Amino acid sequence: MHEHDVIVVGAGGAGLRAAIAAQEAGADAAIVSKLHPVRSHTGAAEGGINAALREADSWEDHAYDTMKGSDYLGDAPAVEALCKGSPEEVITLEHWGMPFSREEDGRVSQRPFGGLSFPRTTYAGAETGHQMLHAMYEQVVKRGITVYDEWHVMDLAVTDEEDPEDRTCYGVVAYDIASGEISGFRANDGVILATGGMGQVYDHTTNAVANTGDGVAMAYRAGVPMEDMEFIQFHPTTLPSTGVLISEGVRGEGGILYNAEGERFMFEHGYANNAGELASRDVVSRAELTEVNEGRGIEDEYVHLDMRHLGEERIIDRLENILHLAEDFEGADGLTEPMPVKPGQHYGMGGVETNEHGETCISGLYAVGECACASVHGANRLGGNALPELIVFGKRAGRHAAGDDLGEAEIPTGKTGEYEMADYEFETELGELGGTSPAAADGGAVVTDPETVLSAAVQRAEAYVEELMDRRGRNHAEIRSAVQKTMTQHVNVFREEPGLKQALEDIQEAREAYKDVAVSDPSRTYNTDLIHTMETRNLLDIAEALTMGALARKEFRGAHWRKENQIRDDEEWLKHTMVSWNDGEPELWYKPVILEGENKTYEPKVRSY
């Protein structure tokens, strides 16, 4: 067993920042991560970090833009914490040596980004995330913070009181990928989840293979609700074979979208007569899919993004990295042919419910970064707002876990504030089907001794692995791919009732199949078959909760579009979707959005630009 004051799960931008903050606040912090830190997907971010750094800008303007972008589903206390904290955090990164792009006078550059009223996006070339991740990992090395890398966290050690709000988290259980050893990690002061996105719920995504939403699923099964999971941002220009993102820059420079008939469909089919290719991400994504669905796609799958008319000179000057991406990952030469593109899952706005300090309703358990939902992005994330979230909330949670006083939080967690139960009847059976649950409550007397809670969790994990290894049965890959397919088909940018219901049925079928899942690689050494099998279980829980929210929410808000009601319905739906595991019988409920900020209330306005 290992023991530290603060255990951080995950080593992307959010986890690294949390560990550094906890250590600076005097705690012995350690990081447990299934990937070595520099392999984390934060490295893939290209665009930039929003921060109101300049005289002419203000955190208030940033907060206003963010609330508007969120389609009024962001919680003002979290949004304001983000916007107030970001400038200091960005400057801290600069002081840690991060090589930002610079102005003539040597100060860090900022550029305009969609949905922002001021050019406040700080960046480092087209590799902002890479530079940010490495600058922070360097600080972790400098400070000698312990990193357990290639340890896959399987479960949380949480007490099992009836109400999740009464439970406490005492640590985590992790599996050493290299050796197959299972070990408990006792956290004296807190566990911080920073496990990143869940893009692998879809079969086409800009997210990494490791982005399987583990933290969200673990917290969920331990009793923390998932919040606003149905809000998924899709990016309209990703390469069909891998999901690699082709940035908006191509369209910004004048790139044109064509269908199989050579029509400039954004105009010719009237999707966006003014903005054309520059319409918002969701509009362009829906337009592309409509083209494909109506038979005007290329190979029934994608459309073309053409930049040849910009000329070789300009392309090489401004979009050289795009040429490399298209060539390396799609085998397409952007100078001589149009590039194939289609919409892909990009970002999950929802996640583990937290308050503005990163705390969940389980005491001692925190979540930060893409896996968390504070919520700063609400129904739609503005480009450049995820990276500042990592550093602002990473730091807040790290400090709080280490005992720093951040004041009283304003956002209630769990069922401690105002809430209402959903009156939606799901036709499909949901949740656990009597399969193996690493976090299944056993119904006995409540155990509260930390050591006992942790060792029980270790034993459960050992039994689970043993069972998966011993059993004969199906491979996880087909189950994973079935879930990904149905999600991509039915829970994408187009959502309508029959499809969503179908998806829930398919997920249930996949759960059924998962009951016979088995690992065929008998080795304890670097068994990725086993790791992927464990991840697949997490994908099932997430896909289900996400689809439940999408089915119940009959309105069009931010990234969530429903055919049956294509308008934003503030009367009925100005509220957060919550899904609780409820010991295996998922339940849907809602809590109000907080629109009251420090000095003002954000009145919902039409989200037009």
Ligand X SMILES: Cc1cc2nc3c(=O)[nH]c(=O)nc-3n(C[C@H](O)[C@H](O)[C@H](O)COP(=O)(O)OP(=O)(O)OC[C@H]3O[C@@H](n4cnc5c(N)ncnc54)[C@H](O)[C@@H]3O)c2cc1C
Q: Which residues are catalytic?
A: 281
Stretch that binds another protein, among 95-103, 161-169, 285-293, 497-505 (CB under 8 A): 95-103
Stretch that binds another protein, among 153-161, 247-255, 446-454, 484-492 (CB under 8 A): 247-255
Stretch 91-130: interaction string toward ligand X, x if CB under 6 A = -------------------------------------xx-
Please select the residue that binds ligand X; options are 20, 30, 42, 279, rule is CB under 6 A. 42
Please select the residue that binds another protein; options are 1, 316, 433, 446, rule is CB under 8 A. 316
Stretch that binds another protein, among 14-22, 90-98, 221-229, 597-605 (CB under 8 A): 90-98
Using CB under 6 A as the binding rule, the residues of this chain from 372 to 431 that contact ligand X are 383-387, 390
Q: According to the binding rule CB under 8 A, does residue 524 interact with another protein?
A: yes
Neighbours of 118 (CB within 10 A): 18
Q: According to the binding rule CB under 8 A, does residue 267 interact with another protein?
A: no
Q: Is 495 helix (H, G, I), strand (E, B) or coil?
A: coil
Give the separation between CA 260 and CA 85, rounded to whole angstroms.
47
* Beta strands at 226-227 and 575-580: parallel, antiparallel or unpaired: antiparallel
Question: What totals of helices (H) and strands (E) does the chain contain, helices first?
Answer: 16, 20
Q: Which does 32 bind (CB under 5 to 8 A by kind): ligand X, another protein, none?
A: ligand X
Stretch 146-165: interaction string toward ligand X, x if CB under 6 A = ------xx------------
DSSP letters for 528-586: HHHHHHHHHHHHHHHHHHHHHHHHH--S-BTTB--TT--S--HHHH-EEEEEE-GGGS-
CB of 247 to another protein, least distance (A): 6
Whole-angstrom distance between the N-terminal and C-terminal Cα of the chain?
Answer: 54
Q: Which does 586 bind (CB under 5 to 8 A by kind): ligand X, another protein, none?
A: none
Question: Over 220-249, what HEC string results?
Answer: HHHCCCEECCCCEEEEEEECCCCCCECCCH
Using CB under 6 A as the binding rule, the residues of this chain from 305 to 364 that contact ligand X are 347
- Phi, psi of 166, deg, nearest 5: -95, -5
- Beta-carbon contacts of residue 47 (< 8 Å; ≥ 6 apart): 113, 121, 123, 126, 128, 247, 383, 384
Question: Where does residue 38 rank: exposed (0-12), middle (13-18), buried (19+ CB within 10 A)?
Answer: middle
Q: Which does 336 bind (CB under 5 to 8 A by kind): ligand X, another protein, none?
A: another protein
Which residue's structure tokens are 């389609």? 71
* Beta strands at 226-227 and 351-353: parallel, antiparallel or unpaired: antiparallel
Q: According to the binding rule CB under 8 A, does residue 135 interact with another protein?
A: yes
Give the separation between CA 184 and CA 205, rounded to whole angstroms.
33
Q: Residue 64 in contact with residue 122, Cβ under 8 Å?
A: no
Q: Which does 328 bind (CB under 5 to 8 A by kind): ligand X, another protein, none?
A: another protein
CB of 34 to another protein, least distance (A): 9
Q: Is 258 helix (H, G, I), strand (E, B) or coil?
A: strand
Nearer to ligand X by Cβ, of 228 and 370: the residue is: 370
CA 262 to chain centre: 36
Please select the residue that binds another protein; options are 260, 275, 440, 447, rule is CB under 8 A. 275
Neighbours of 96 (CB within 10 A): 14
Nearest to 561 by CA among 488, 464, 492: 492
Q: Which does 398 bind (CB under 5 to 8 A by kind): another protein, ligand X, none?
A: none
CB of 155 to ligand X, least distance (A): 9
Signed CA dihedral, 393, 395, 398, 399: sign only: negative
Stretch 8-27: interaction string toward ligand X, x if CB under 6 A = -xxxxxxx------------
DSSP letters for 590-608: EEE---B-SS-B-------
CB of 187 to ligand X, least distance (A): 14
Please select the residue that binds another protein; options are 158, 201, 239, 287, rule is CB under 8 A. 239
Please select the residue that binds another protein; options are 78, 126, 578, 594, rule is CB under 8 A. 126
CB of 473 to ligand X, least distance (A): 23
Q: According to the binding rule CB under 8 A, does residue 605 interact with another protein?
A: no
Q: Which does 601 bind (CB under 5 to 8 A by kind): ligand X, another protein, none?
A: none
| DSSP structure class, residue 601 | B
* Consecutive H or E run containing 158: strand 151-158
Stretch 20-39: interaction string toward another protein, x if CB under 8 A = ---------------xx-xx
Q: According to the binding rule CB under 6 A, does residue 90 interact with ligand X?
A: no
Nearest to 178 by CA among 524, 519, 463: 524
CB of 461 to ligand X, least distance (A): 12
Contacts with ligand X, residue ranges (CB under 6 A): 9-15, 32-35, 40-42, 44-48, 128-129, 152-153, 194-197, 206-207, 210-211, 214, 245, 347, 369-371, 383-387, 390
